[in-house]
Amino acid sequence: MPSGEKPIEKVEISTTLVAKLIQVRFPQWAKLSIRPVKNSGWDNRTFRLGESMAVRLPSAKAYAGQVKKEQEWLPKLGPHLPLPIPIPLAMGSPSETYPWNWSIYQWLEGENAKIQRIEDLNHFAIALAHFLTALYQIDPVGGPPPGQHNFFRGGSLSKYDSETRESISVLGDRIDGEAISSVWETALNSTWQGTPVWFHGDLCADNLLVRSDRLSAVIDFGCLGIGDPAGDLTIAWTLFFGESRKTFRELLQVSNANWARGRGWALWKALITLVEHIDKNPLEAQRARHIIDEVLIDYNTSA
């Protein structure tokens, strides 16, 4: 869930609504089956259209600007990447029943990445590092810089400084605030020294697809942009560990400063998640705590 100073109001999106939108805008596909996709994401709601397509609709105004961005850039990026990404087939326009643009994509087979679905996590890290290396090498000219469209991913971590410090304060003695603050300060004190590159912006396990135990596709490019790619490193602490984390870093040739900012992005997200769930969702709170612990272990090992 992206951060925001104000709560994000979402609209209700149902199979019935999607069927009406298809009927009006793309009647040639109106007879195809429509099924909601499990784990369809926070920013968007996804439905399977027939067997070969997917309908993706922003769940709130805050995410609506991502549609045209994906429509423009994903077809240009896809041919340069070693793994499939969603390719838009059509774009629906706002109507009386739904207020924003929406997309129809090719359907990509696979399940969301989980440890138990991955046979060799080290091989998975290699495949993802190769994907990101290819993404970072694509000409960034004309790409969208950090902004509201992607919640300032690819920009400075200082954007989330007050929120991170507030989370540390709210959690109080339920976390090691002093150690966590050290990690955060180190991240803030590092800067991106390179020229802007393309980045995914929300590289989490739910946005990686697995088939036959291997990485098969990368999805959900709503936070796509050009800038500092350190945010893409969060996967090193949310999915990888031990040898796979080491392999991932080595193949991407990540400097100490960039790695520190990657830890910072992972820490920020884990902290706000822990604040949200610590008293009402033990499973999500446990996951957030695990990420914080992994970040601290990595920081202490690297220091």
In tens, the pLDDT along 200-222 reads 999 999 999 999 999 999 999 99
Q: What is the mean pLDDT of residues 31-50?
A: 90
Q: What is the CATH number of the domain that holds 50?
A: 3.30.200.20
Same domain, 27 and 168: no
Quote the CA–CA distance of 119 and 116 in Å, as a whole number: 7
Name the domain boundary from 108, 135, 150.
Answer: 108
Q: Is the pLDDT of residue 234 over 80?
A: yes
Q: Is the pLDDT of residue 4 over 90?
A: no
Q: What is the mean pLDDT of residues 49-64?
A: 96
- In 3D space, the residue among 284, 291, 296 whose CA is nearest the CA of residue 187 turns out to be 296
Residue 8 banded pLDDT, cuts 50, 70, 90: low
Same domain, 142 and 28: no
Same domain, 134 and 102: no
Quote the CA–CA distance of 13 and 277 in Å, as a whole number: 25
Structural domain span for residue 34: 15-108
In tens, the pLDDT along 76-132 reads 999 999 999 999 999 999 999 999 999 999 999 999 999 999 999 999 999 999 999
Residue 39 banded pLDDT, cuts 50, 70, 90: confident
Residue 87 lies in a domain: yes
Same domain, 79 and 160: no
Residue 285 lies in a domain: yes
Quote the CA–CA distance of 271 and 15 in Å, as a whole number: 34
Quote the CA–CA distance of 53 and 165 in Å, as a whole number: 43
CA dist 67 → 157, 210, 216 (Å): 25, 25, 23
Same domain, 86 and 209: no
Same domain, 141 and 88: no
**Per-residue confidence (pLDDT) for residue 42, from 0 to 100:** 72
**Per-residue confidence (pLDDT) for residue 2, from 0 to 100:** 41
**Per-residue confidence (pLDDT) for residue 11, from 0 to 100:** 85
**Per-residue confidence (pLDDT) for residue 242, from 0 to 100:** 95
Residue 243 lies in a domain: yes
In tens, the pLDDT along 142-154 reads 999 999 999 999 9
**Per-residue confidence (pLDDT) for residue 3, from 0 to 100:** 46
